Structure 1
Amino acid sequence: MGLRCSADTLLRRLINTPETKQSGAPHVGIDEWAWHRGHCCGMLIVNPDTHRPLVLLPGRDQRTLATWFRKYPEIQVVSRDRSGVYATAAREGAPQARQVADRWHLLKNIGDEPERMMYRYMPLIRLVVRELSLKKSPEPEISVPVASLRRLERLKQHIRKKRHQRWTEVMALHNKGCSFREISRITGLSRVTVSRWVGSGTFPEMSTRPPKRGLLDPWREWLKEQRECGNYNSGRIWREMVARGATGSETIVRDAVAKWHKGWIPPVTTAARLPSVSRVSRWLMPWRIIRGEENYAFRFISLMCEKEPELKIAQQLVLEFYRILKT
């Protein structure tokens, strides 16, 4: 802007600017406001027409909100979520106003439902991942020592067992009638996790990450040929790799060749990464797909809907509801 002043000066001028008096509006929107997720610091009331805040009321008390509504009888529409506190306060403080559900929460709710449903289709997600990975060109192969495989498998089984025990505890508490807040306090899990586990109905398996690609991955086939030919000279192998355009350190090659003497099993193909349930549920809704994954998401969902007609119906209902909100 060409202003010759510091950032501190601009902030100081902004803070010292007299606050304009905020009044009511024919249409107001209300929602919780917090510094941190999961904590409620107040109720934020905004003017949806001007996109400006009107007031931040402390806490989440019904009487406080109803008192504020009574000050502005010109309010005709109250846009809110499904909170009973907001509904009761609006009825008491602004009985003349019409209460409507705001579009943001409607879109959020319609996005949450497919995610709860998708937990029942974890076996189908795994099947689709395998089928799509087979259609792709084969990935570079990596070698994994037998001992490492056994240790990793034992560790995975141990983690899964502990996680299953916690899931069983959560479901038992839920069946006894405990609220999500009580279950969260007893188990130490977040309320989001408790809600997701209870809503899934079945034990939610963890997504697995594929091993990271290394500097020698492009050379796996060539190194396999050298090993089969009996060439265990790491120095000679490194010089040939440099002549072919390899970069890096000779130490990497020396370590790899040294492992050939320790009973490594034949190379195994890198497994495709299993997408999370929330990610797959987003793929059902085109407006929530992240840029760059459109093609894979379309093929993934198309294959899932082909194998499970119920998902196709769910996707059609979601899209139809989305069009209604946008028109």
Structure 2
Amino acid sequence: MLTDRTAETLTAWLQAHPGVEIICRDRAAAYAEGAREGAPDALQVADRWHVWNNLAGAVERTVARHQKCLNAAVDTAAEPNPDADSDADQQHGQYGVTAPVQPVQPEDRTDRIATRTRERYTAIHALLADGVGIRAISARLHLARGTVRRFARADTVEELLTCNGTGRRPSLLDEFKPYLRQRWGEGCTNAAALFAEVKARGYRGGQKILREYLRPFRAAGRIPEPLPKPPSVRRVVGWIMSDPSNMDEEGQRQLDAILAASSQLAALAGHVRAFATMMCGLRGHELEEWMNAVDADDQPGLRSFVVGLRRDQDAVTAGLTLPYNSGPVEGHVNRIKMIKRQMYGRAKTDLLRKRVLLSD
């Protein structure tokens, strides 16, 4: 057990334990440096799971930039209602509304929040470019890891300033919409009465939003049938990253519709399948060709991934060629975490080391 994740600590341990021939590691720059300094003759092998996970992050950023194409996965047969164009109703395909969402411009935010967001984005991406990991960035900038990941996934700061990159402003009415549909179906069609009811249930918005949400109901004389929601970005990423033979028929149908709606996503899926074939077949000698193909394509997210691969190309090539992986180590990491949780996370390194050794 090492006391921390710094390069210096790993270097010191390796120098105190000479003879290490193969070091299988994740993509953290600190481990790469520590291995290089502490055991220069050892072969570094990038763990395949971590490489695949890095690729998934690049795929997620790309899919997030093409969210409108995800609507192709659902049936949009309902006619759009031109009267229902409020922010509260501008969900993907809800009640047939297809009016374009107007993004929130940075100047609509307070200067303080916008400035802080820009500074954080610049700092996080500068550290990422230097190979610093999410956890290290979190500790250095005193930010939650989830926050760091959100900033890391954004290709531009505008994605963070514009509705967190979702393309839609969350409505205060969202959580009350199922209740409103239920009450409308029960015969309560008075907006003032419904407003009083949801107000009593915790709604903090104004009556105007509620009235605009109910307008399509009143115009149609009945509750419009809600259209299926498009799949989430993460679900689409999961489909793209999955073996087609393991997908169910409905998931494959939706993915096919999305890829047909976007040539960029279709090309992205092709690159992912090629990488998976190379990785599963341990054909690391094909990595350079794969990276060149990505560089020649219009795939900013994958190009960023390739930049990281080139910085660590020897270790990645070894990971895609040799059978070694970090699976056993990850198992021990999970065991250590479990032991630490049993002590409510308050164990110092010396006590934790004893607990780990005595638990064997």
Q: Following the alignment from structure 2 to structure 1, what is the Cα–Cα distance between the partners of residues 87 and 261?
A: 36
SS at match of 1:57: coil
Alignment of 1:145-224 (within 5 A): 152=88, 161=104, 165=109, 172-173=118-119, 177-179=122-124, 190-198=147-155, 202=159, 203=162, 204-205=165-166
Q: Following the alignment from structure 1 to structure 2, what is the Cα–Cα distance between the partners of residues 325 and 71?
A: 34
* Residue of structure 2 in register with 1:244 after alignment: none
In structure 1, which of residues 273, 278, 300 is the aligned counterpart of residue 229 of structure 2?
Answer: 273
What amino acid maps onto 1:195 in structure 2? A
Q: Which has the higher strand share?
A: 1
Q: CA deviation at 1:78?
A: 0.8
Verify the 8 A CA contact 1:283 1:301 in the aligned structure 2. yes
CA gap of 1:69–1:278, structure 2 versus 1, over 3 A, is same
Q: Following the alignment from structure 1 to structure 2, what is the Cα–Cα distance between the partners of residues 211 and 118?
A: 29
Q: Following the alignment from structure 2 to structure 1, what is the Cα–Cα distance between the partners of residues 157 and 266?
A: 19
SS at match of 1:78: strand
* Residue of structure 2 in register with 1:321 after alignment: 275
In structure 1, which of residues 107, 111, 115 is the aligned counterpart of residue 52 of structure 2?
Answer: 107
SS at match of 1:59: coil
SS at match of 2:154: helix
Q: Following the alignment from structure 1 to structure 2, what is the Cα–Cα distance between the partners of residues 101 and 186?
A: 27
Verify the 8 A CA contact 2:244 2:252 in the aligned structure 1. no
In structure 2, which of residues 38, 42, 48 is the aligned counterpart of residue 97 of structure 1?
Answer: 42
SS at match of 1:284: helix
Q: Following the alignment from structure 1 to structure 2, what is the Cα–Cα distance between the partners of residues 172 and 123?
A: 26
Verify the 8 A CA contact 1:210 1:273 in the aligned structure 2. no
What amino acid maps onto 1:80 in structure 2? R
* Residue of structure 2 in register with 1:297 after alignment: 251
Q: CA deviation at 1:66?
A: 1.1
Query: % of aligned pairs identical?
Result: 20
Q: Following the alignment from structure 1 to structure 2, what is the Cα–Cα distance between the partners of residues 133 and 301?
A: 13
Q: Following the alignment from structure 1 to structure 2, what is the Cα–Cα distance between the partners of residues 326 and 277?
A: 25
1:259-278 CA-partner distances (Å, limit 9, x unpaired): 48989612211132232212
Q: Which has the higher helix share?
A: 2
Q: Following the alignment from structure 1 to structure 2, what is the Cα–Cα distance between the partners of residues 206 and 186?
A: 25
* Residue of structure 2 in register with 1:63 after alignment: 8
Q: Following the alignment from structure 1 to structure 2, what is the Cα–Cα distance between the partners of residues 260 and 151?
A: 21
Q: Following the alignment from structure 2 to structure 1, what is the Cα–Cα distance between the partners of residues 187 and 65?
A: 45
Q: Following the alignment from structure 2 to structure 1, what is the Cα–Cα distance between the partners of residues 42 and 30?
A: 16
SS at match of 2:66: helix
Q: CA deviation at 1:294?
A: 2.5
1:26-79 CA-partner distances (Å, limit 9, x unpaired): xxxxxxxxxxxxxxxxxxxxxxxxxxxxxx211123222112112333311111
Greater Rg by CA = 1
Q: CA deviation at 1:179?
A: 2.9
* Residue of structure 2 in register with 1:256 after alignment: 186
CA gap of 1:187–1:323, structure 2 versus 1, over 3 A, is closer
Verify the 8 A CA contact 1:174 1:198 in the aligned structure 2. no
What's the C-alpha RMSD, in Å, of the aligned pairs? 4.8
Gaps in structure 2 of 5+ consecutive residues:
91-102, 126-136, 194-213, 282-360
